[in-house]
């Protein structure tokens, strides 16, 4: 498998990803989620290998079910670690969202 860097992963997250709090229900606290939608399964697997976390799942758009895309998704503490590693390299609008999501973890550590 080809190796990627945190800088490259940050670019993929900003270009093809989404960052959010995953609310799991009324009695369970929300957790951080990072997901990236890719056309190449090997790219999704490279993210999974690089961060040693997450899952790679197929996705077929309803408007074009013949097309197969791939989601790499990581949740919880692993997602927070992913953002902590990639935020310094983000330059787009997702950087602010990522900083807000990891701020509690940074405050607890510092």
In a domain, 1, yes or no: no
| Predicted confidence pLDDT, tens digits, the chain (110 residues) | 568 999 999 999 999 999 998 776 677 777 899 999 999 999 999 999 999 999 999 999 888 888 899 999 999 999 999 999 999 999 989 999 999 988 865 566 55
pTM of the model: 0.85
**In terms of residue numbers, what domain contains 67?**
6-109
Helix/strand/coil (H, E, C) string of the chain?
A: CCCCCHHHHHHHHHHHEEEEEECCCCCCCCEEEEEEEECCHHHHHHHHHHHCCCEEEEECCCCCCCCCEEEEEEECHHHHHHHHHHHHHCCCCHHHHHHHHHHHHHHHHC
In a domain, 54, yes or no: yes
In a domain, 70, yes or no: yes
Total structural domains within the chain: 1
In a domain, 85, yes or no: yes
Question: What's the CATH code of the domain at 15?
Answer: 3.10.28.10
């Amino acid at each position: 498998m080809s190796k990627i860097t945190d800088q490259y992963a940050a670019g993929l997250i900003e270009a093809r990803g989404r960052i959010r709090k995953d609310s799991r229900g009324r009695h369970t606290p929300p957790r951080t989620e990072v997901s990236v939608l890719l056309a190449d399964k090997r790219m999704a697997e490279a993210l999974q290998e690089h961060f040693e976390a997450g899952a790679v799942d197929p996705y077929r758009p309803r408007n074009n079910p013949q097309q197969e895309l791939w989601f790499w998704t990581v949740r919880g503490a692993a997602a927070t670690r992913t953002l902590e590693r990639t935020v310094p390299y983000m330059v787009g609008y997702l950087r602010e969202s990522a900083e807000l999501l990891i701020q509690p973890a940074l405050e607890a550590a510092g």
